[in-house]
Chain A
Amino acid sequence: MIDGLNKAFESRVRLGIMAVLVVNDWVDHAVLKDLLAVTDGNLASHLAALDALKYVQVRKRFVGKRPNTSYKATPAGAKAFRAHLDAIDQLLNKDLRQ
């Protein structure tokens, strides 16, 4: 394994989730599902994994009578995601220099 690459972000869906969450405030489940074009189940399992790592915050509440779930990146999650991007960046640049 290469230094700096985070195993938590090996899945493309998780990369996508973090990409959306670091540049936005609370994002609704439905919006996330639309942007990433994934199924509810798939999205939910990746979000649960990120939640277990404390990389995302989950907020469940009612908007009117409908339940609404939204997510936000935690500071730790944003930091880990940025470090992962830097690692990818370095990896690509190293390859260019060779």
Chain B
Amino acid sequence: MIDQGPHHQDLAHIRGLMERSTRFLSLSGLSGMFAGVVALLGALVARERYEELILASGGIGLRGAGEGARYLESHVLTTAWDLVLLAALVLVLAVSGAAWFTWRRARRTGQGLWDPSARRLAWNLAIPLVSGGLFCLAMLWHGNVALVAPATLVFYGLALLNASKYTLDEIRWLGISEVVLGLLATAWVGAGLLFWALGFGVLHIVYGGLMWYRHESHGNDAP
């Protein structure tokens, strides 16, 4: 008679190693929730300025020649670049907070923060994300403001989708949700900020909460 116990254990051991060596599993749900809250605050700050921007771009649409139109055009660009700065600030805050929560979790689970799986995750996230960022800057550069918000959501979603092969499964669904939201946003160009708040704020909080509940709450944070 063969003892089945060791074989069961072997399979579990093998499965665990395959997962841990390819996927970065220490990503913390709290990272997502923190980033979501920062994004919502950023959206609140941006709201007033953004309304101004929409009004001003409407003014350019009137095709007025001369002083007024030129003033409006330069005004749109200044406001747009202000928003870019604000967005960059939100991004830096969100990313550093997220990194901190994930660092904390990685230390607890004993998986390094910068092991090969983490590097693979970062790399696969960065390629579509940086391409998207540069593309959006190019759109701003050409004064094409309308599709910036939808494009950021779509690119971010695709970046997450690409990175999801190397981390927790929830990231895949977060990515798909961001892409769908970004495509929807193309139909309501004026509501870009609302979609931003939904995509970067609400979705992060929802999925971050889900990840936290599934993997970190009630002590199932197994090393």
Contacts and interface: CB of A to CB of B under 8 A. Distances in A.
A22 B15 CA distance: 12
A19 B12 CA distance: 11
Interface string A8-38: 0000100110011011100110010011100
Identify whether the interface residues of A are mostly helix, strand, loop, or mixed.
helix
Given A15-B14, A35-B17, A23 B22 contact: yes
B115 interface: yes
A92 B18 contact: no
Contacts of A2: 2
Given A19-B14, A36-B17, A88-B11, A31 B116 contact: yes
B142 interface: no
Nearest to B1: A95
Interface residues of A, number: 21
A16 B17 CA distance: 7
B115 A12 contact: no
Contacts of B115: 31, 34
A88 B7 contact: yes
B18 A35 contact: no
A23 B11 contact: no
Contacts of A78: none
A88 B10 contact: yes
Given A15-B10, A27-B116, 4 more contacts: A16-B13, A20-B17, A89-B11, A91-B7
Interface of B: 2, 4, 7-8, 10-11, 13-15, 17-18, 20-22, 112, 115-116
Interface of A: 2, 12, 15-16, 19-20, 22-24, 27-28, 31, 34-36, 85, 88-89, 91-92, 95
